[in-house]
Structure 1
Amino acid sequence: MWVITHVLAGLGIAAALGGPWWLVAVVVLLSHVLMDLVPHWDYTDSDHLTVYAWCDFVASLAAVCLAWAALGHPWWVAFMGVLSGAPDADVLIWLARGREGRKLFPSHWERFPHGRSGPAWGISVQVAIMALSAAVLLALAP
């Protein structure tokens, strides 16, 4: 899934659970694994990888900043958004190495049943997850 999808899900989960932080950290990392099982479309197979990756990064950074600075969620909620998207850094490193080497996060391993689909379904499911997560984040803003 896109990083922004994981980040928004992590933010929504953190806002909904409200703590303790260590439990929320475990849940957002598990959510990353579970979301990677859902059939989705990744831009890693696209001809425009660099453009999509930069847009994904900027959107993720904006979501974290908005949750904290504009919506007033505590810093640790914003951090859980970062933590939820952080496992995708190993995909970035793998791509930078020319698709060589080993990925570290379990749901990125070759033998993991990573969900894949075409763009129509794969983008739609991610938009639905992002919309639900954003709605939770907005509804629970302090």
Structure 2
Amino acid sequence: MPNYWLMKSEPDAFSIDDLAKMQVSPWDGVRNYQARNFMKSMQLGDQIFFYHSSCKPAGIVGVAEVVKEAYPDYTSWGPKSRYFDVKSTPAQPRWFMVDVAFVTKFPRLITLAELKADTALNEMPLTQKGSRLSIMPIRGEDWDYIHQHLT
């Protein structure tokens, strides 16, 4: 049985349409330890809500799937990379990434405001005050509810 996740990306940096064109892409550049640890626990076949963040309106735009489990994020090793981290090396990687595959783009954006207004989703980490992680787990019942009632 797959696990469920929500992963945020700024659409001007990497959008659901970008993933649709590529079909498979590494999810690199995560530089938060808790988000990194969530990624390290992802398994093949896990399902992901693709969320456009830092835009108006922000919200869930589609679904992706984990197709390669966590491996070192090599973008942290290159001094010219925008994700460079001097403390991360090939011998002792600090950061990790997974590969995700495009599954579907929703016919409409499910906005953050809509998610927060739905009392059935009160336990969802995304709807909690102060929740800013770029990667977070989603309960199966929230995953199902969103698919059945909001898409």
Q: TM-score, normalized by length of structure 1?
A: 0.28
Identify the structure with the greater helix proportion: 1
From the CA coordinates, give the structure whose radius of gyration is larger.
2
Query: Relative contact order (C-alpha < 8 Å, sep 6+): which is higher?
Result: 1
